[in-house]
Amino acid sequence: MNLAELDALMVSPEMPVRAETLVQAWELTEVRRPNALPAGQVLALITMRAQAGMEARLASAARDFVEATSGLSGALGSTLHRSPTDPRTLYLIERFATAESFERHMGSDYFAKFQAAQAGLLAEPVTALFLERGNT
Amino acid sequence: MPDSDVELLHALARGEAQAVATLYQRHGARMVAFARRYVTDSVAAEDVVITLLGRWLERPPRVREVEKLSAFLATSVYHESIDWFRRERAQQGQPPRSRVNEVSAVVKTPVARESVGARLPDALARLSPDERLLLESHYMQALTTEECMELLGIGRAALHQRLHRARVRLMALLSEEEAQP
């Protein structure tokens, strides 16, 4: 084996990087802006809990909502997640380019349709956490 | 929400959504800046971190009692970044990994990549920490050249010399193990 062959081989096996090296890199990382998101973006974490026996219907309505959201101009991402510890709990992570696009999302027909679909499905009110607010 | 990092990690391990939000609010900016080291641009770095938040909601991480938050976040963001990189390459119809020395990939090597992958951990274990650091940075871009120079307290010329020696040593170790039955 020569060095060129070594370099070629090292492309493939994916050399493991030690945690201590990553911690050094973490500590050396320069943070140039105080927030994780560019100014104006909106990132929300929504929590919904279905009534017993209603989890499949809530999940189906939420999937339709995610699909509709992805078609909105300014929607950067909308993903649905289920809690592993409580299958009746669903989370939505939604991200918008601007506050304006988020407001259009809130005022859309598909949003109203999802709110109407939630009636009788939820065990408790929906909660929304806006992740960039109050960032230090 | 927990004040201490340890309590926050435990809340995360219990699958509490509030812990995901708090962790992001406290450390999201550094997580994105850190991911930016390993992916192509800041938009991709933001995607990596938000994907990680979703992953934690669906599969809360196991957190060791003594684990420090910085170690947990650094390794989590790094691995998510590598996964992102693999997905990008797959979408482009490229092999999963080839960030370094693309040209060298065409070298006709007599050594099977799979067998080197299996023998690599033992060979790496026989290197010094400084040699490991240099190779992790050279092959995996774990740290920049300037950061390696700062951490090792050496100049650029010395760094290149030491990197060369580390590559030679690794090559010898892999060849030595290759020769063994």
Domain boundaries, chain A: 42-130
Range of the domain at B146: 102-179
Q: Model pTM?
A: 0.86
**Chain A residue closest to B53 (CA)?**
A93
Task: Specify whether the CB–CB gap between B75 and B62 falls below 8 A.
Answer: no
- Residue B21 distance to chain A (closest CA, Å): 6
Q: Which amino acid is at A34?
A: P
Task: Choose among B31, B56, B45: nearest CA to A25.
Answer: B31
Q: Which among A7, A18, A79 has CB closest to B54?
A: A79
Asked whether residue B97 is domain-assigned, the answer is no
Judged by CB atoms within 8 Å, which residues 51-110 of A form the interface with B? 77, 79, 81-85, 91, 93, 95
Partner A contacted by B112 (CB < 8 A): no
Number of domains in chain B: 2
Q: Which residues of B touch A129 (CB under 8 A)?
A: 17-18, 21
Q: Which residues of B touch A12 (CB under 8 A)?
A: 97, 113, 116-117
Task: Specify whether the CB–CB gap between A101 and A122 falls below 8 A.
Answer: no
Tell me the pLDDT tens digit for each residue of B76-110.
999 999 999 888 888 877 765 544 444 344 445 55
Q: What integer pLDDT is reported at residue B101 of this predicted model? A: 43
Please, what are the averages of pLDDT over each run of 10 residues along chain A (136 residues)? 84 82 94 79 95 96 97 95 94 95 96 94 94 52
Global ipTM: 0.88
Task: Choose among A98, A14, A28: nearest CA to B146.
Answer: A28
**Cβ contact A47–B17 (<8 Å):** yes
For A42-130, CATH number out of 3.40.50.2300, 3.30.70.100, 3.40.190.10, 3.10.20.310 equals 3.30.70.100
Q: What integer pLDDT is reported at residue A135 of this predicted model? A: 39
Q: What integer pLDDT is reported at residue A4 of this predicted model? A: 87
